[in-house]
Structure 1
Amino acid sequence: MDVIVIGGGIAGVATAYQLRAAGHRVCVVERHATVAQGATYGHSGVVLPSPLDVWFGPTFLRDRRQSSSGVICKTGFGGPARAFVKRLGALRSSEAFAARYALLRPLIDTAESALDDATNRFQLDYEQREGLLYLVRGNDERSLTQPALELLRRFEVPHHALSAAECIAFEHNIPPEPPFAGGVRIEAGRMANCPLFVKQLKQVLDNQGGVQFQTGREVSSIRLESGRAAVELAPRLPAHASAREVEVISGDAVVVAAGAQTLPLIAPFGVKLPLYPLRMHTLNAPVAHEECVPHTTIIDAAKRIAITRMNHRLRISGGAVLLRANQVDEPLTEALTESALALLGEASRDWAPGAARISAALAWEGMKLLSADGLPAVGNAGHPRLFVNAGHGPAGWALALGSAKLIAQQISGTSPDLPADTINALSPVRG
């Protein structure tokens, strides 16, 4: 089959990779000049989510106060935004959290297997590092992590619950003052350079053939018919040019993996994804003092802020701003941007003082989609020729590989590897 994939980030390129492995011909349409230039570019690097850093559950968004949450909720929210926060809040109980994570777990396992297969098969090196240390500030946060620890034990994920003294003994650069409650170490947890992986995977596809990349092209609309599917591309010529021909690419199916742009592209078909936009931030700061740099990746468990070494820089990622759905294309106010970046700077000073020159940091911001029920939107979107791979959230970029495999199996008409309850829970048209 001929399949059109909209989006050249991790979700789109992963989808193209899995579709090609299943024997399909693929055309990837990306609006930027090359792949991995949108939200993928600023990813924190967490490869797969654990119960401690999924963006739902007891430790996430406990209230709307900036001082205690890693998410800034802009004031003046209307009904949809309040409903979104309320749905997330329903997953804070231990029972609801465990049930939702149990549905996500098969996708995590499939994604890990797919990532390892691609890495070993093509000898990819994208700056992988093992070892994650999740830190909690107070005893209240520590108690809220207990359901996550139960899930780590349930799914037999090797980990170590540590006291504050044990955290400092393991990572000497964590300051003892101000006091903190402790942490959890997951030795097999991985960080890696997501945009580098995407570029290497594109090179694999270029060498293999069967996948065409159309970069610098924006999709203006999708057309669906009973026998074919097509995308309409915005003209390359400037708007004032007199001759503008509409270009159309046809295929047997369309997969929308365009990040935040997924929502407006599928809206004409009556598909309302349970996804909401988050504006994420990253600081890439030069190393100030080598002896102060943590030797492992540190994650503030409650604020969902990751601090990791990337070559000669320290990358601090998080600072989410929850927006209204109609604000996706609007720039943040200066005050909101400063608040988000202040959270990142504070985390750096708290957990790795002296390691980074924050004053010389390069700031990045980009849009990610977060689901109200903790799961991405993956699979058929209500029309036999329309599929979606979106909403994986800020933690766990390799989930896109597992999602892509499910989509490739659905398009191929083969039996999916994932259990039926997980497939139903991931469906873009779920209730």
Structure 2
Amino acid sequence: MTQKQIAVVGGGVVGVCTAYFLAEAGHDVVVIERHQNVAQEASFANGGIVAPGYASPWAAPGMPRKLLSYLFRNESPVLLKPAIDRALWRWVRQWMSECELERYRINRTRMQRLAFYSRDVLRQIREYYQIDYEQTQGVLQLFRTEKDRKLAEPGLALLAENEVPHQILDPEGVRAIEPALASDTPLCGGVYLPQDEAGNCPLFTKRLKQIASSIGVQFHFTSTVHGIESESRGVALHVDDGRYPADAVVIAAGMDSVSLLKPLGIQVPMYPVRGYSATALIKNFEHAPQAAVLDETYRVAITRLGGRIRLAGTAELGSSSAKLRDRALRTLLKVGGDWFPDAANYAQANFWTGTRPMLPDGPPLIGATPIRSVYLNIGHGSNGWAMAAGSGKVVADIVSGYAPEIDTDGLTLSRYG
């Protein structure tokens, strides 16, 4: 392998993992990030779930009908702001076509292949460097109704086919695992994934940034990449008022990736889906969750991060505003109050909203592009934290000329070709 000068555009968890593995492979790496620190956008206050067994596309059988039924309720897993936005409606049409059972099975299998690998890579990093990022073990998926359980059957079938350790539980079994669950909230059953986990994504990202810096990665903050040019010996990046050459570039810039790729003739069907979270201090630890809980009805994750509880979820389409929407916050607070009402004062939570760059079919785009020396690590949606370590390692291997340790079929730009 020849040492290369490589620029990584984007300082979220995906970009930092990519930079770390590139440096570990012996390259000279620089990360260019427009914010003042790493993990300031989609990585900042996400749900914290690292659950390969749960990783699945938003496009699933029965999902369009379910989301339509909730669209005009006070609390809803989805918000839609009507807009004359061709990109939105084109994305929605593509998304709906991916909700067929066979497409769902293909997409979920691709996502889980990467997510399981990523979890193993994450654990290797954690154990080698003894990183504590408030991680917890086990993920519990809750079904309020029989209808929710039926909608989950295709995913449960894949868990069984792939021999993923899991337990299908009745309400008594659910409460045996998570005894703090409120007894008066309707509960049909659940699924327990004992090998899945959760943790503080920005805390991990900042620690890995320190480690990456110690092995030579340079971080340039408050710097914006305005364009990328292909050159005979690599690429040139237009950063603020300067032009900087590199042997290769990895684009891991979330939604900003779309505008960087378009002048290169690369169009990806990625759309910004806004998510929300609420983080509250635990006031009664005996009434707080032991680990991570997922409410399947409202698509909200409840995670315990040290002395705090985080509620994260809601998908808002069609809005470019960072203003907090009351309906989204009501949904989060309802789920927290329904399951762990005495654990925290949710009304005093810190609220956050940020966009997730989502592709209509679900799996991210990683690896090479038709433009020589330009590589991708984008489109992870709400599963960026679950896939970051594995995606970073795969891309670093590809840039270095090594065969990745997993099959990348269906994870590359060629699936849109």
Q: TM-score, normalising length from structure 1?
A: 0.89
Q: Secondary structure at the match of 2:250?
A: strand
Report the Cα offset of residue 323 of structure 1: 2.3
Contact 2:24 2:215 in 1 (8 A): no
**1:398 to 1:298, Cα distance in 2 relative to 1, 3 A:** closer
1:93-108 → structure 2 map (5 Å cutoff) = 93-108=100-115
1:144 to 148, 151, 155: 151
1:276 is matched with which residue? 271
**CA-to-aligned-CA distance 1:353-384 (integer Å, 9 cap, x gap):** 12221221111111111110111121122201
RMSD after superposition: 2.0
Q: Distance in 1 between matches of 2:113 and 2:96?
A: 23
**CA-to-aligned-CA distance 1:124-163 (integer Å, 9 cap, x gap):** 2211110111111211111111111111111111111111
2:107 aligned partner, one-letter code: R
Report the Cα offset of residue 274 of structure 1: 2.2
Are 1:367 and 2:362 matched, yes or no?
A: no
Q: Distance in 1 between matches of 2:384 and 2:158?
A: 17
Are 1:21 and 2:24 matched, yes or no?
A: yes
1:237 is matched with which residue? none
Contact 1:124 1:200 in 2 (8 A): yes
Report the Cα offset of residue 194 of structure 1: 0.8
2:308 is matched with which residue? 313
In the alignment of these two chains, the number of paired residues is: 410
2:245 is matched with which residue? 250
Contact 1:158 1:186 in 2 (8 A): yes
1:58 is matched with which residue? 61
Q: Distance in 2 between matches of 1:9 and 1:19?
A: 15
1:223 is matched with which residue? 229
1:111 is matched with which residue? 118
1:46 is matched with which residue? 49
Report the Cα offset of residue 303 of structure 1: 2.6
Report the Cα offset of residue 53 of structure 1: 5.0
2:372 to 342, 361, 384: 384
1:407 to 389, 395, 398: 395
2:340 aligned partner, one-letter code: A
1:6 to 6, 9, 14: 9
Contact 2:248 2:374 in 1 (8 A): yes
Q: Secondary structure at the match of 1:397?
A: helix
2:252 aligned partner, one-letter code: A
Contact 1:60 1:302 in 2 (8 A): no
1:190 is matched with which residue? 197
**CA-to-aligned-CA distance 1:174-212 (integer Å, 9 cap, x gap):** 223242211111111100111111111111112222x11
Moved over 6 A (4+): none
**CA-to-aligned-CA distance 1:285-343 (integer Å, 9 cap, x gap):** 1224333212231111243211112222211111221126xx3xx434x6xx1111111
**Which of 401-410 and 385-394 deviates more?**
401-410
Q: Distance in 1 between matches of 2:292 and 2:121?
A: 23
Q: Distance in 2 between matches of 1:256 and 1:130?
A: 32
Report the Cα offset of residue 428 of structure 1: 6.7
Are 1:331 and 2:337 matched, yes or no?
A: no
Report the Cα offset of residue 50 of structure 1: 2.5
1:50 aligned partner, one-letter code: G
Q: Distance in 1 between matches of 2:306 and 2:67?
A: 36
Q: Distance in 1 between matches of 2:394 and 2:368?
A: 10
**CA-to-aligned-CA distance 1:220-269 (integer Å, 9 cap, x gap):** 222221222121122xxxxxxxxxxx222211111111112111121211
1:208 is matched with which residue? 215
Q: TM-score, normalising length from structure 2?
A: 0.92
Contact 1:115 1:398 in 2 (8 A): no
Consecutive unaligned residues of structure 2, counting only runs of 5 or more, are: none
Q: Identity, % of aligned pairs?
A: 34
1:350 aligned partner, one-letter code: D
Consecutive unaligned residues of structure 1, counting only runs of 5 or more, are: 235-245
Report the Cα offset of residue 172 of structure 1: 2.2
Q: Distance in 1 between matches of 2:293 and 2:122?
A: 23
